Amino acid sequence: MNSLYFRLAGVAALWGGTFIAGRIAAPELPHFTVSALRFWVAFAILAPLLIADEGRLPRLRPCDLGFTALLALFGLVFYNLLFLGALELIPAGRTALVVALNPILTALTMALVFGERLQRHRWAGILFALTGVWIVLSKGDPSLLLQRVGRGEWLMLGGACCWAFYTVIGRYALDGEAAASPLAITTITTLWGALMLSVGMPFEWEAWHAKEVSVAAWASIVYLGAGGTALAFVWYAEGLQRLGAARTAVFNNLVPVFGVSFGTLLLGESLLVSMWVGGFVAVAGVTLTNWSRSR
């Protein structure tokens, strides 16, 4: 079990790096193109690994195809388009801090959609986390929230909602003895996502030229596909299967830490005091939401 915890912490580090990679690639390539290439790279890695691990392509049930299509739609298509749109407008570190909402939104989705009751301390944690995100988005001046929050913040907030749906759907896709393996579910989901996003690529062909794309942007796409998708998504799926949606989503608390750190170290982004304070309050709230005396 400890190795799983280390892998989930590694997922947070890999996803923290995606904010940097996306920040580099997004200005040079259109959104559908970046996203589609990311998942084709991931599928090219995952498919041979799946065949080598299971000896053949998996036999999927109709419900597996439905689950993977929904996972791709919310977690790969919608999330990535919103994610890249946000990164073009706001700093990577600021974008990463909004991810602190993911575990909260996951817990709320489980409560509202599936009727799971939340204890009082979990509701208190939700209020703490929302307060923290409020501080981050308003840059320390909550009274000016609506004037300070722009399109980039709202796009990332929409992405956080999509990821909450992805987490909940993934938990049910991997539930039961007859369910496909995390590697199989991730591979088929990646294929769905690559196909869906490729539909938009022809409409962007005139917006970019391969010769004008920097080496850093191509390297960022490889990182997004290999590290941020192929490796991270499989490990995350393992967590969903073994720990459940809420406990796995807790590890998203570490994504803002890595994202802000990488943004400051690699991109030279400023680190405001309000981001420290708001990030601390948000992470504390998420931790309280998922705290249990038995754990």
The SS3 of residue 295 is coil
Instruction: For residue 215, tell me if it sits in a domain.
Output: yes
The answer to whether residues 18 and 169 touch, using CB atoms and an 8 Å cutoff, is no
Instruction: For residue 220, tell me if it sits in a domain.
Output: yes
Q: Using one digit for the tens of pLDDT, what is the confidence trace for 190-207?
A: 999 999 999 999 999 888
- Phi, psi (deg, nearest 5) at residue 28: -100, -20
Most confident range, picked from 22-26, 64-68, 219-223: 219-223
CA–CA dist 93, 105 (Å, integer): 20
Q: Please, which pLDDT band fits residue 92 given cuts at 50, 70 and 90?
A: low
The pLDDT score that the predictor gives to residue 60 is 79
The pLDDT score that the predictor gives to residue 93 is 63
Cα–Cα distances in angstroms (integers) from residue 143 to residues 69, 135, 147, in the given order: 41, 10, 9
Instruction: For residue 104, tell me if it sits in a domain.
Output: yes
Q: Please, which pLDDT band fits residue 148 given cuts at 50, 70 and 90?
A: low
Q: Please, which pLDDT band fits residue 64 given cuts at 50, 70 and 90?
A: confident
Q: What's the mean pLDDT in 225-237?
A: 92
CA–CA dist 11, 252 (Å, integer): 9
Instruction: For residue 70, tell me if it sits in a domain.
Output: yes
Q: Please, which pLDDT band fits residue 218 given cuts at 50, 70 and 90?
A: very high
Domain count, the chain: 1
Instruction: For residue 183, tell me if it sits in a domain.
Output: yes
The yes-or-no verdict on residue 293 having pLDDT over 60 is no
Instruction: For residue 295, tell me if it sits in a domain.
Output: no
The yes-or-no verdict on residue 144 having pLDDT over 60 is no
The pLDDT score that the predictor gives to residue 222 is 96
Half-sphere exposure of 262 (CA within 13 A, CB side): 23
* DSSP secondary structure code for residue 253 in this structure: G
Instruction: For residue 294, tell me if it sits in a domain.
Output: no
Could you list the residue range(s) of the whole structural domain that residue 157 is in? 2-289
Instruction: For residue 265, tell me if it sits in a domain.
Output: yes
pTM (predicted TM-score): 0.78
Specify the range with the lowest mean pLDDT, choosing from 47-61, 85-99, 207-221: 85-99
